Amino acid sequence: MIVLVSLMFTMGYGYAQAVDANNNALNALATYGPDGANIGASSIVRNPPRPIEGTVYLFDTWYNNTLIVTTTQEKPIRLNSNINFNAKRNVFESKIDKETIFTFNFTNIEKIVINNRVFKNIYSPVDGSYRVFEVIAETDDFEIYKNYTIDIREGNPNPLLARANDKYIMRDSYYVKKGKSFKRLKLKKSEILKAAGSKSSVVEQYAKDNNLNFKNERDLQKIVSYYRTL
Protein backbone atom coordinates (compact mmCIF):
# COMPACT_ATOMS: atom_id res chain seq x y z
CA MET A 1 0.00 0.00 0.00
CA ILE A 2 1.20 3.52 -0.76
CA VAL A 3 1.29 5.74 2.30
CA LEU A 4 0.83 9.44 1.60
CA VAL A 5 1.64 12.15 4.12
CA SER A 6 0.11 15.36 2.76
CA LEU A 7 1.65 18.72 3.56
CA MET A 8 -0.63 21.52 2.39
CA PHE A 9 1.00 24.83 1.57
CA THR A 10 0.43 27.95 -0.49
CA MET A 11 2.44 29.33 -3.40
CA GLY A 12 5.04 31.00 -1.23
CA TYR A 13 8.37 30.37 0.36
CA GLY A 14 7.84 26.67 1.11
CA TYR A 15 6.76 25.97 -2.43
CA ALA A 16 9.69 27.91 -3.88
CA GLN A 17 12.08 25.74 -1.88
CA ALA A 18 10.51 22.59 -3.30
CA VAL A 19 10.73 23.90 -6.84
CA ASP A 20 14.35 24.98 -6.45
CA ALA A 21 15.24 21.55 -5.11
CA ASN A 22 13.60 19.84 -8.03
CA ASN A 23 14.63 22.35 -10.72
CA ASN A 24 11.93 21.11 -13.06
CA ALA A 25 8.86 22.29 -14.94
CA LEU A 26 7.10 23.26 -11.73
CA ASN A 27 9.01 26.54 -11.96
CA ALA A 28 6.18 27.71 -14.20
CA LEU A 29 3.84 27.57 -11.24
CA ALA A 30 5.84 30.27 -9.49
CA THR A 31 4.03 32.73 -11.76
CA TYR A 32 0.67 31.73 -10.32
CA GLY A 33 0.47 34.98 -8.43
CA PRO A 34 1.12 36.67 -5.10
CA ASP A 35 -2.32 35.92 -3.69
CA GLY A 36 -1.09 32.70 -2.13
CA ALA A 37 -3.79 30.66 -3.83
CA ASN A 38 -3.58 27.03 -2.88
CA ILE A 39 -3.52 24.68 -5.86
CA GLY A 40 -1.91 21.60 -4.42
CA ALA A 41 0.08 19.69 -1.85
CA SER A 42 3.36 17.84 -1.52
CA SER A 43 3.26 14.21 -0.46
CA ILE A 44 5.83 11.70 0.75
CA VAL A 45 5.44 8.43 -1.12
CA ARG A 46 6.39 5.11 0.42
CA ASN A 47 6.60 2.04 -1.76
CA PRO A 48 4.27 -0.92 -1.12
CA PRO A 49 5.72 -3.83 0.91
CA ARG A 50 5.82 -6.02 -2.19
CA PRO A 51 6.06 -5.07 -5.88
CA ILE A 52 2.91 -4.47 -7.91
CA GLU A 53 3.08 -4.81 -11.68
CA GLY A 54 1.58 -2.24 -14.02
CA THR A 55 1.04 1.44 -13.33
CA VAL A 56 -1.52 3.78 -11.81
CA TYR A 57 -0.62 6.53 -14.30
CA LEU A 58 -2.70 7.31 -17.37
CA PHE A 59 0.08 8.57 -19.62
CA ASP A 60 3.06 6.46 -20.67
CA THR A 61 5.48 9.32 -20.10
CA TRP A 62 5.82 12.29 -17.73
CA TYR A 63 6.80 14.53 -20.66
CA ASN A 64 3.37 15.91 -21.51
CA ASN A 65 2.48 19.31 -22.96
CA THR A 66 0.12 20.85 -20.45
CA LEU A 67 -1.99 23.96 -19.97
CA ILE A 68 -3.35 24.70 -16.51
CA VAL A 69 -6.27 27.12 -16.75
CA THR A 70 -6.84 28.82 -13.41
CA THR A 71 -9.79 30.82 -12.15
CA THR A 72 -7.63 33.80 -11.17
CA GLN A 73 -5.32 34.37 -14.14
CA GLU A 74 -6.07 35.37 -17.71
CA LYS A 75 -3.20 33.36 -19.19
CA PRO A 76 -2.89 29.60 -18.59
CA ILE A 77 0.19 28.11 -16.96
CA ARG A 78 2.27 26.04 -19.35
CA LEU A 79 4.16 22.90 -18.39
CA ASN A 80 6.17 20.91 -20.92
CA SER A 81 7.08 18.00 -18.69
CA ASN A 82 6.80 16.31 -15.31
CA ILE A 83 3.05 15.83 -15.01
CA ASN A 84 0.83 12.76 -15.11
CA PHE A 85 -2.61 11.62 -13.99
CA ASN A 86 -2.78 9.14 -11.11
CA ALA A 87 -5.96 7.17 -11.79
CA LYS A 88 -5.79 5.42 -8.42
CA ARG A 89 -5.86 8.71 -6.49
CA ASN A 90 -7.83 10.60 -9.17
CA VAL A 91 -5.33 13.48 -9.17
CA PHE A 92 -2.66 15.08 -11.33
CA GLU A 93 0.84 14.76 -9.93
CA SER A 94 4.33 16.11 -10.53
CA LYS A 95 7.55 14.69 -9.12
CA ILE A 96 9.53 16.88 -6.76
CA ASP A 97 12.14 14.22 -6.04
CA LYS A 98 12.34 10.42 -5.77
CA GLU A 99 10.21 10.30 -2.65
CA THR A 100 8.05 13.41 -2.94
CA ILE A 101 5.29 14.37 -5.34
CA PHE A 102 3.25 17.52 -5.86
CA THR A 103 -0.49 16.86 -6.07
CA PHE A 104 -2.67 19.37 -7.90
CA ASN A 105 -6.11 20.14 -6.56
CA PHE A 106 -8.81 22.03 -8.44
CA THR A 107 -9.61 24.67 -5.83
CA ASN A 108 -8.40 27.40 -8.17
CA ILE A 109 -8.06 25.38 -11.36
CA GLU A 110 -10.78 25.46 -14.02
CA LYS A 111 -9.30 22.73 -16.20
CA ILE A 112 -6.09 20.97 -17.14
CA VAL A 113 -5.39 20.36 -20.82
CA ILE A 114 -2.75 17.70 -21.31
CA ASN A 115 -1.71 16.62 -24.82
CA ASN A 116 -4.90 18.33 -26.08
CA ARG A 117 -7.06 16.24 -23.75
CA VAL A 118 -9.24 18.24 -21.36
CA PHE A 119 -9.76 17.27 -17.71
CA LYS A 120 -12.18 18.92 -15.28
CA ASN A 121 -13.21 18.43 -11.67
CA ILE A 122 -16.92 17.57 -11.84
CA TYR A 123 -19.41 16.74 -9.10
CA SER A 124 -20.59 13.17 -9.60
CA PRO A 125 -23.93 12.30 -7.96
CA VAL A 126 -23.03 8.68 -8.66
CA ASP A 127 -20.00 8.93 -6.35
CA GLY A 128 -21.42 11.63 -4.10
CA SER A 129 -18.26 13.69 -4.50
CA TYR A 130 -16.15 15.64 -6.97
CA ARG A 131 -13.96 13.64 -9.35
CA VAL A 132 -11.54 14.50 -12.12
CA PHE A 133 -13.02 13.40 -15.44
CA GLU A 134 -11.69 13.59 -18.97
CA VAL A 135 -14.03 15.66 -21.12
CA ILE A 136 -14.91 13.64 -24.22
CA ALA A 137 -17.57 15.98 -25.59
CA GLU A 138 -19.29 19.20 -24.55
CA THR A 139 -22.38 20.88 -26.00
CA ASP A 140 -24.94 23.37 -24.74
CA ASP A 141 -27.31 20.45 -24.15
CA PHE A 142 -25.15 17.66 -22.75
CA GLU A 143 -21.61 16.63 -21.81
CA ILE A 144 -19.87 13.26 -22.00
CA TYR A 145 -17.15 12.46 -19.45
CA LYS A 146 -14.69 9.61 -19.04
CA ASN A 147 -13.78 8.27 -15.61
CA TYR A 148 -10.59 6.32 -14.82
CA THR A 149 -10.19 3.93 -11.91
CA ILE A 150 -7.64 1.33 -10.80
CA ASP A 151 -8.31 -2.24 -9.71
CA ILE A 152 -5.69 -4.55 -8.25
CA ARG A 153 -5.58 -8.09 -9.57
CA GLU A 154 -4.17 -10.24 -6.81
CA GLY A 155 -1.19 -12.41 -7.58
CA ASN A 156 -1.00 -16.14 -7.07
CA PRO A 157 2.11 -17.93 -5.74
CA ASN A 158 1.33 -20.91 -8.00
CA PRO A 159 4.29 -21.03 -10.45
CA LEU A 160 2.07 -22.61 -13.11
CA LEU A 161 0.04 -19.41 -13.34
CA ALA A 162 3.09 -17.13 -13.80
CA ARG A 163 1.25 -14.45 -11.85
CA ALA A 164 3.06 -14.18 -8.54
CA ASN A 165 2.73 -10.42 -8.11
CA ASP A 166 -0.33 -8.22 -7.80
CA LYS A 167 -1.06 -6.07 -10.84
CA TYR A 168 -2.70 -2.68 -11.40
CA ILE A 169 -5.54 -2.82 -13.92
CA MET A 170 -6.83 0.47 -15.31
CA ARG A 171 -10.57 0.67 -15.95
CA ASP A 172 -12.60 3.36 -17.65
CA SER A 173 -16.27 4.23 -17.86
CA TYR A 174 -18.36 6.97 -19.42
CA TYR A 175 -20.98 9.34 -18.03
CA VAL A 176 -23.43 11.72 -19.63
CA LYS A 177 -24.61 14.93 -17.97
CA LYS A 178 -27.82 16.43 -19.33
CA GLY A 179 -29.50 19.09 -17.25
CA LYS A 180 -29.63 17.79 -13.69
CA SER A 181 -29.21 14.20 -14.86
CA PHE A 182 -25.80 12.55 -14.45
CA LYS A 183 -25.64 8.86 -15.24
CA ARG A 184 -23.51 6.05 -16.61
CA LEU A 185 -23.27 5.91 -20.39
CA LYS A 186 -22.40 3.15 -22.81
CA LEU A 187 -20.79 4.34 -26.02
CA LYS A 188 -23.40 2.98 -28.35
CA LYS A 189 -25.61 4.48 -31.00
CA SER A 190 -28.93 4.35 -29.14
CA GLU A 191 -27.66 6.13 -26.02
CA ILE A 192 -25.85 8.88 -27.93
CA LEU A 193 -28.90 9.52 -30.09
CA LYS A 194 -31.02 9.69 -26.95
CA ALA A 195 -28.76 12.46 -25.65
CA ALA A 196 -29.09 14.25 -29.00
CA GLY A 197 -32.84 14.52 -28.47
CA SER A 198 -34.79 16.14 -31.32
CA LYS A 199 -31.64 16.32 -33.45
CA SER A 200 -31.06 12.56 -33.29
CA SER A 201 -32.24 11.74 -36.82
CA VAL A 202 -29.98 14.38 -38.37
CA VAL A 203 -27.03 13.22 -36.26
CA GLU A 204 -27.67 9.59 -37.18
CA GLN A 205 -27.68 10.43 -40.88
CA TYR A 206 -24.45 12.42 -40.56
CA ALA A 207 -22.72 9.50 -38.85
CA LYS A 208 -23.96 7.12 -41.54
CA ASP A 209 -22.88 9.36 -44.42
CA ASN A 210 -19.39 9.73 -42.95
CA ASN A 211 -18.92 6.13 -41.76
CA LEU A 212 -18.56 7.22 -38.14
CA ASN A 213 -18.81 4.73 -35.30
CA PHE A 214 -20.62 5.85 -32.13
CA LYS A 215 -18.47 3.43 -30.10
CA ASN A 216 -15.23 5.08 -31.20
CA GLU A 217 -14.16 8.12 -29.15
CA ARG A 218 -12.63 10.04 -32.03
CA ASP A 219 -15.62 9.37 -34.25
CA LEU A 220 -17.94 10.36 -31.42
CA GLN A 221 -16.12 13.67 -31.03
CA LYS A 222 -16.63 14.34 -34.76
CA ILE A 223 -20.31 13.52 -34.40
CA VAL A 224 -20.66 15.88 -31.43
CA SER A 225 -18.76 18.62 -33.28
CA TYR A 226 -21.36 18.34 -36.03
CA TYR A 227 -24.15 18.37 -33.45
CA ARG A 228 -22.90 21.72 -32.16
CA THR A 229 -23.40 23.24 -35.63
CA LEU A 230 -27.10 22.36 -35.75
In tens, the pLDDT along 132-150 reads: 999 999 999 999 999 999 9
CA distance 207 to 11: 48
Residue % of the chain over a pLDDT of 90: 58
Are 218 and 158 part of one and the same domain? no
Q: Which residues pair with 69 in a beta bridge?
A: 111
- Same structural domain for residues 127 and 28? yes
- Condensed to tens digits (0 to 9), the pLDDT of residues 49-93 reads 667 889 999 999 999 999 999 888 888 888 888 899 999 999 999
Facing residues of 145 across strands?
135, 175
- pLDDT for position 160: 64
Q: Which residues neighbour 182 within 8 Å (Cβ) at sequence distance 6 or greater? A: 124, 125, 126, 175, 176
Query: Which of the residue ranges 18-22, 41-45, 198-202 would you say has the lowest mean pLDDT?
Result: 18-22
> 194 pLDDT exceeds 90?
yes
- Whole-number pLDDT of residue 92: 95
Same domain flag for 57 and 165:
yes
Residues 96, 194, single domain; the answer is: no
- Grade residue 2 by pLDDT with cuts at 50, 70 and 90: very low
Whether residue 110 has pLDDT greater than 60? yes
142 and 200, same domain (yes or no): no
Residues 16 and 75 in one domain: yes
Host domain of residue 200: 188-230
Same domain, 93 and 15: yes
Task: Verify that 157 and 221 share a domain, yes or no.
Answer: no
Residues 40 and 74 in one domain: yes
Domain C-terminal end among 185, 200, 220: 185
71 with 171, same domain: the answer is yes
Given a cut of 60, whether residue 13 has pLDDT beyond it is no
**Which residues, 6 or more positions from 93, have their beta carbon under 8 angstroms from its beta carbon?**
83, 84, 85, 86, 101, 102, 103, 104
The number of domains in the chain is: 2
- pLDDT(28) > 50: no
Do 180 and 202 share a structural domain? Answer: no
Q: For residue 44, name the pLDDT band (cuts at 50, 70, 90).
A: low
Domain co-membership, 199 together with 216: yes
Q: Is the per-residue pLDDT at 118 higher than 60?
A: yes
